[in-house]
Structure 1
Amino acid sequence: TTIQSSTSYKDVAIARDNYKNWSVCMKNYLLAQDLWDIIEASSERKAEDSEADIRNWRKKNAAALLAMQNSCEPNLISEIGEITSAKDAWNALAKIYEPTTVDESGQPAAKVEEHQLPATITNQQSKVQELQAPTLSQGDSADWDLVRHILYVYPDAITAKVSIYGETLLHLAIIAGHVKIVENLVELMSEQDIEIRDTEGLTALGIAAMYGRTEIAKCIVRKNEELVVAPDKRGHIPLVMALRYAAHQNMIRYLYSVTPIDFLLSENGSHGSLVLSYFISLRMFGFKKIYDMKLMHTYALEVVRCMSKEISALDSNKLLYGVVLYPFFEAAKRGIVEFIVEMIKAKPDFMTVYFMNGRSVILSAVENRQEKIFSLLYGFNERKLRVVFGLDDFRNNLLHLAGLLAPSSQLDHISGAALQMQRELQWYKVIIS
């Protein structure tokens, strides 16, 4: 067994005010090093143990004892310096540093063993703090290690309500915004566990909606889709909670997309009217976004027109090596017909210029299924034949490219394989005609 250097323990050196954190960290270390059985009562040496068993016990005992000694500041080593048993040293430190609780009569209360923790542990204040601390602290990766240890010791804690508001570990992790912890907890929980509510009737998704935790909401919905229509005590579904408390547009858009439209109809209650009223009060009409998009489109078109004036003065041979050629064919690939029209107006040679693989703008339009670009062919007049019967570097003509499967970016816009096939056949028939 190898022991880490003492510097790895200095940040958690034992003291009265941090004994609980120290004991958790030390137990994790001993478990990882397969030394924890030395601390447990079942590891006591027996008379019938073989010599090899005794040597192994001594080795593990020394390793565990050294780990505890290394975690102490020099002035604290004297507390366990003369003790030769790791178990005795552990118990001695617990007796010295663990706070003693008293019962209602003023007598020392009996210590609650780990396995005695009930399913609902809100009455055990020290245990509540131990469960809350890792989820409410800042370090995400370290937090999950602590939570995992707690769940190992107290398996029922995953569904236990650990706050006065009836919140579970999952609820607390959502409030703190720890995405990684939430993902790990959700993976361990069943669909029924995810449905646990706090004292306000909020599910995990309702809490995520309140705090605007969009990524967390997606994780929860993947586990249990039914939560999108689970109301709290006031009858508010998560979408309404997001509108009422957080007003985060990403969260609202996501919850609206996964909430069944039928559920928002008037015959199913006031959910739809509440959503509509909040949209109005928050002025989330979408008009400004559409206006901004149209304005940007207008500005972009003006820039293109200014460019076309300069391009018209270029020598035709320079088009093959100029910086305009790539944007021209990229626009054809994406179906930006305004750009193509302005460039052809400025320089008609663009109709028959070739780019990668020897393809013209029309061949590129067919390959990428851009019907608006392809329709420009009808205005090519005398150059139409050259384009229609033109071949690329692989000897492909319009029919060959129409026979290839359309890019996924185009097929994704058509729902269903049957409609996709119908669309492909329509393209092929248009090219033949």
Structure 2
Amino acid sequence: MTTTNISPSSIVVEVLRGDNYDDWSACMKSYMLAQDLWDFIEPPGLQEGDQEVDSKPIDHQEGDSKALRKKNAAALHAIQISCAPYVLSKIRSITSAKVAWDTLANLQQQHSPSHKEQSDEAEPSEDDESQGSEQSVESEPAEDDESQGAVSNEMNGPLLTLYKYAHNGDWDAIKTYLSRYPNAKKAKIKPYGRTALHVAASSGNLKVVEELVTLMSVNELAIKDNEGNTALSIAAIVGIRKMAECLVSKNENLVTFANRYPKIPLVEACVGSQMDMVRYLYSVTPIEFLCRGNVDQGSRFLKNAIGAQMLDIALDFLHRCPRSATTMDEVLKSNALFNLSKMPQIFPSASRLAFWQQWIYSCIPMQSIATTDDNVRINMPDQSLSESKNIILQVSSKLRGFAINLLAFLGIKQIYDLKKIHIYSDKILRCMCEHISTLDYEEYLKADVDGAFHSAVENGMVEFIIEVVKACPHAMISVDGNGRNLFMSSIANRQEKVFSLFYGLEAGGAEFVSIVYGSGNTMLHLAAKLSPPSQLARISGAALQMQRELQWYKEVESIVDPTDNDYYNKDNQTPRELFTSDHKDLVVKGEKWMKQAATSCTVVGALIITIMFTVAFTVPGGNVQETGYPVFKDEKSFTVFIVADAISLFSSSTSVLMFLGILTSRYAEEDFLKSLPTKLIIGLSMLFFSIAAMMVTFCAALIIMLDGRLQVIIPIVLLATIPVTLFMLLQFPLLVEIGVSTYGPGIFNRKMKRWSKSSTDRLLEVNSLLSQTV
């Protein structure tokens, strides 16, 4: 006996799940008619289109008709393999194909809208799970199961269909669906437990959301998914303001509902940097809820608003609720003050503007950007306005748009925005420090002001440090987790602007320079250690990095006691020994970098010397045979030619000599401070002059030879400027960086103005606070 393998896909398009019975039964009937099996389902004599079976099924037990039993088994097998597992469980024990068919038909009628009994929740079929995220959704009853009525918990199909309609934004299909299953609008769909309103909101289908809101009650709008999100939370993440307005207009309490993390919609919008949504939700979220009703949410909102650089909103909220700056978030164990200390990019001390950008920055008036709205809006014209006024408004709008685009192209708009951020960050910091100054010592410790202070030191935030010290002078003598004070930490993290504050202390800050912290290291030991990789990466080339390390060591060495040079730490190393051991790899890299640069430039310089020396004896036009003088010796262009040739030859020779000096240097540590950088500056400068003079020599020779043919001379002269320009673009920034680093004013500001109280005043204030706590 042979066995025939039959695939369900060869019988029906989809296995029977519960929502596709009509399509399934039609396919099954066609298959059974083709296989001569339909007589076991519908006995002969009925019309082809009849849906109801009145006659009894064929008695397959009469006689020993082996052929009839085989056909019944084939029909029953075809039905069984075409059902989903949870449907198959209903007919597993049935041995008659006719009875199995009728049972499935009855199950379909029980799950129709007129049926009012609830079935047990069903599991999805294996085929369903392979269809993807949208086709693997199970149905789940709403919170009030008894009112679910029209939607069966067992039938996966209807809610799957509703999910797809809501995802695609097909309101007409949703409306038809809800007319059959009215309570489906509040049904929660697995695996995420979202309603159709959640799905439409996450897909950004505004029309569907508006229509569903009109159909749903106030309580139904507050249904949460498995993550605890209401539809408003989803809309806040998506960032469609009209969607949020529609939801809040019907249930204004939605703005106070937090998800499982827990975040209210306002916070979710901040996390997603949805500016327009944040402005709206901030206007409708009760300040009392953020300030008094739920301090955690207020602190969380302030942190995220600052993090998203929505500083105007953060400043407004901070004025209304100052204590939110120091209120600790019990979930994340931080507050807005600590988060602000990790954002150096919004403060002027982190700006790296070119000189012309700095000039534009200083010219922008501060008063003009103090408002929260930086857009100049033109009101829409009324119907009574004349045609001429409409034209004027349109032209003004276009001109304004052109001006904004021009400013953006020139980079002025970015500088304007940067200055506005700096103004708001300064106001936020001052407002926080005003609140900090009112805290007693216990509240000061609970707010972790010292932690935020030392975080600002690590990030080089000079403004933050100064304002905190003004509000709480005792913060200056606090130590971080490694036992390091303000200036020790600035040395370890290579924050030169913070270290320069040392020069603004009264009496030179003598009480800070002789401190030895836990590991037995002095300030000079910290300067002898290798810089953090993030700070080294800011400097071009290993040689310049080594130069910066030496500058740090020399600067700290100049302020400490001379006896510290011989002080041994716990590893039995003096500062100089520690510097040598920590920087030996950097010295090797610096030597390699210098030699590679010198070798490349030496080759270029040697080629220029060869060419320019030859050109001096093969002048254009040749020489007079009788006298040996050049033919064009009396021409002005010839004078330019010979002078430029000489300049190119001499400068390239000087350049080669400087690079040879670099190649033959001993590469001691001290050489990286001035000797090697000086040779590199001279070599690159002379090489630049030699290339420029070579181009001038070439152009002068062409002018002599072409004798006034400007249509040829001018394009060639313009082309000759290309290599000079490229050299400037590629090498000039490095040359400037080396020059400023070697002979510039330095990275430390020794002329820092006094900015802090004396040490005596600080100690008195600390003792006063300590006595209060006792």
Band the TM-score falls in, shorter-chain normalisation: 0.3 to 0.5
TM-score (norm 1): 0.45
Bigger Rg, which one = 2
